[in-house]
Structure 1
Amino acid sequence: MAHQPEEPERYVCEGCQAVYAGTAYAEDGGHSFEAPTECAACGSSSFVRFVQWTHHSSSET
């Protein structure tokens, strides 16, 4: 069986919509991912998971 690389979790900054790869932590042979603590572009500390961004951003209009 071939090894399939694990794709990192991505996060969208709510302040400026910059996209970040989550910080990876090893857990039980896999990885968990966390959003950055602060956006390097705008300083915001609010992030939404990339897969939830469309639903999140459309519910605010």
Structure 2
Amino acid sequence: MQKNILQSKRVGSDYIRNTIFYGIVGVLFAAFGFSQLRWLGSQAVVYLMIGLALLYAAIANYLESRKYK
């Protein structure tokens, strides 16, 4: 029983670490893509889509981490 509780906390902290990383990188990609739309065109849209996908992954990781509290 004790082992399961410790493992649960470790898994939850892994999800939080992934949430922070994906959130920061997602914001950077999305901001860069949005700021370059005028000059790069469709290439900037790709950066924006990557950023939005990473932000989605950050939200999914955060919601998953809530299970392991």
TM-score normalised by length of structure 2: 0.26
Q: Which has the higher helix share?
A: 2
Q: Which of the pair has more CA radius of gyration?
A: 2
The alignment's TM-score, normalised by the length of structure 1, stands at 0.28
Greater fraction of residues in strand: 1
Greater RCO between the two (CA within 8 Å, min separation 6)?
2
